[in-house]
Amino acid sequence: MPEPVVTAAVIVIGNEILSGRTKDVNVAYLARQLTALGIVLAEVRMVRDDERAIIAAVNALRAQHDYVFTTGGIGPTHDDITCEAVARAFGLPYRINPEAERILVDFYRDTGRELNEARMRMAHTPEGATLIDNPVSRAPGFRVENVHVLAGIPAVMRAMFESVAPTLKGGRTVKSREVAVLLGEGDVAARLEGLQERYPALEIGSYPFVRDGSFGTTLVLRGTDEAEIDSAAGELCTILRELGGEPESPPAPPAPVG
């Protein structure tokens, strides 16, 4: 019996993301890591630092997906409202977590900095939450049921996700194959539609590019059956040659920033 498809959603929280002041790089990282674990990132939402918007997104997505990850809004300032909003989404009391408090007390004592009232905000979680380790800046994230609350700072978010990853259970691993060709999307569209009809279990996408003034298209085949991908890729290359193009492997994507 085949393994089920396991899905996840990401909620990116922060006015600075939606205003364009800060560029999000966390979604791309999470997409790659989840895919490697056999988890399909099926949906991403971006919301402002608005309690009602956060609650609505959390409640909608946790009912639809196996895992939900939030990024951003868990720091010490007045606009860091994600943690309390998640507590309200679950109808849970929001209070100091004794273990989170101990972590912060030890950390600030060792660094010689003051553990003031603002920083103590980061010791609050929904009642019963499981902490997520933060080896970078120590203030932990947390999990309530299938919702994982992570930092927005990329280095901290990644460290938190690495703490969480061993607990995640994936399903069928999605594999992909890419083929590039110096033909426009309009040149391949009709034949591509036919290929999709012959391979309904695969996702077949086309992505245009321009190289040295010439139009090209990268074709991506995604699915869980590698033999089927191989077969479709072979047919695709034949189609592209019949259309006058020469299939090639696309260049590697640029390394993520942040």
pLDDT over threshold 50, residue 256: no
What number of other Cβ atoms are within 10 A of residue 58's Cβ? 26
pLDDT over threshold 80, residue 3: no
Domains in the chain (CATH in brackets) are 6-167 (3.40.980.10), 175-242 (3.30.310.50)
Under the banding of pLDDT at 50, 70 and 90, the label for residue 112 is confident
Under the banding of pLDDT at 50, 70 and 90, the label for residue 2 is low
- 179 with 251: CB under 8 angstroms? no
Separation CA 165–CA 231 (nearest Å): 33
Out of 1-10, 21-30, 128-137, 139-148, least confident range = 1-10
Average pLDDT for 218-225: 92
Out of 34-38, 234-238, 251-255, least confident range = 251-255
Separation CA 128–CA 177 (nearest Å): 43
Q: Express each pLDDT in 20-74 by its tens digit.
A: 999 999 999 999 999 989 999 999 999 999 999 999 999 999 999 999 999 999 9
- 95 with 67: CB under 8 angstroms? no
Under the banding of pLDDT at 50, 70 and 90, the label for residue 254 is very low
* Residue whose C-alpha is closest to residue 124's, from 94, 149, 157: 94
Greater confidence (252 vs 83) lies with 83
pLDDT over threshold 70, residue 192: yes
- 50 with 14: CB under 8 angstroms? no
Residue 152 CB-half CA count within 13 A: 22
Tell me whether residue 220 is exposed, middle or buried, using C-beta atoms within 10 angstroms of its C-beta: 0 to 12, 13 to 18, 19 or more: middle
Q: Read out DSSP for 172-209?
A: SPPEEEEEEESS-HHHHHHHHHHHHHH-TTSEEEEEEE
What is the pLDDT, as a whole number, of residue 131? Answer: 98
Looking at every residue in the chain, the average pLDDT score rounds to 93
Task: Kindly report the pTM of this predicted structure.
Answer: 0.83
